[in-house]
Amino acid sequence: MLHRLNPSLKLAGLIIITTAILIYPSWRFSGLLLLLTIFGFKASNVPLDVSKRRIRFLMTFSALLFAFQVLMTVNGTILFFVIPKYDFMGPFLPVTDFGIEKGFEMSLRFLLVVFSSMLFVSVTDPTLLAHSLTRLRIPYRYSFALVIALRFLPLFDIENKTVRMAQRSRGISTSVRGMSKILRTIRYTFFPLLVSALSRVDALSLSMDGRGFGHSRTRTYLRKSSWTAIDSSVLVLLSMLLLASILLALGFLPQISAII
């Protein structure tokens, strides 16, 4: 279902969710939105374990964020000490209820931002996104920059492999031990890639100019994004979410803020 939504609406949704949890930074609110995001993965048939290594990395990183917040926060009701009292030493590193709350707040916020971004990327076609941005009166010449940038990615991937193989055949190995070796590695891999990339600029821009790119204020598209009644309904829901976060932050919804 999310695949069919307007790309600009999905981008707006991503921005609204990120803004809402900054306005009302409650861990329960973040947790609720995270559950909705995971439901979004399910509803869109996007497998969350598509890259298990990345998910594991994100979970480890969020656990580290949690631990950092817990140990940095000294106020609140002390639940226990990480290093208990021993003889005349300690206790050290108190763990408080407020610290745990802040830990959840930060780690869930991190997971929410990253997972909602992953969902957005999974269900959004960049070409349709560029088209929908032009419908928001962003000049197509600028929105097309995103399309070019994304279309060149596979090419750069192939060229990167070619450059590395070429350097290896010359006996140049990549190493990051020490600043001089980092700079050397960067020089031997970045420079050929950069020259290769920039040498395409003239050919591509001349080709685009030759086809009349930028000549007219409007242009035609092979594939277009559309705006439906469902998009309008989702926009209303997202606006309500943003409004609710503002009202919660200002304390106008005390009954709800007691729960989330």
Partner 1 sequence: MSSEQKSTITTRDIVTIAILASLGGSLSTFVGYLGNLINLSLGVPFGAGQFMAGLHVFWLILIRVIVAKRGTGTMGGLVKGLVELFTGSTHGLVIVAVSMVQGFLIDLGAEIGGTPHNNDNASRLAWWLSAGIAAASNVFVLQAFYFSGAHWILLAVIGLLAFSSGVIFAGYFAWETLEFLKDSRVLSNSFSSIRPPTVSRKRVTYRNIPAIALIIFITVGSLYYTVAVAQVFSDPYSCKVTGLVENPFTYTPQAFVGQEVTVQAELQGVNIHLDPANYTGILLSTILEAAIPMAETTGVRIVARDGYTILLDLDEVMTDTHLLLSEAEDGLWLIASNYDGALWIRMVTTLEVY
What does the binding site for partner 1 look like in residue numbers (CB under 8 A)?
14-15, 18, 22, 51, 54, 57-58, 60-61, 64-65, 68-69, 72-80, 94, 97-98, 102, 106, 109-110, 113-118, 120-121, 126, 141-142, 144-146, 148-150, 152-153, 156-157, 183, 186, 190-191, 193-195, 197-202, 204-205, 208-209, 213-214
Residue whose CB is less far from partner 1, 80 or 232 = 80
**What is the Cα–Cα distance from 137 to 24, expressed in whole angstroms?**
31
Residue 242 neighbours by CB under 8 Å, 6+ apart: 16, 19, 20, 23
Minimum distance of partner 1 from residue 79's CB (angstroms): 6
Q: What is the DSSP letter of 227?
A: -
- DSSP, collapsed to helix, strand or coil, labels residue 217 as coil
Buried b (16+ CB within 10 A) or exposed e, 28-37: ebbbebbeeb
Q: What is the DSSP letter of 243?
A: H
Minimum distance of partner 1 from residue 25's CB (angstroms): 9
Residue whose CB is less far from partner 1, 97 or 230 = 97
Residue whose CB is less far from partner 1, 195 or 222 = 195
Minimum distance of partner 1 from residue 160's CB (angstroms): 8
Residue whose CB is less far from partner 1, 135 or 214 = 214
Minimum distance of partner 1 from residue 129's CB (angstroms): 9
Helix extents (H) in the chain: 7-23, 27-43, 52-72, 97-123, 126-135, 140-151, 153-169, 179-210, 229-250, 254-259
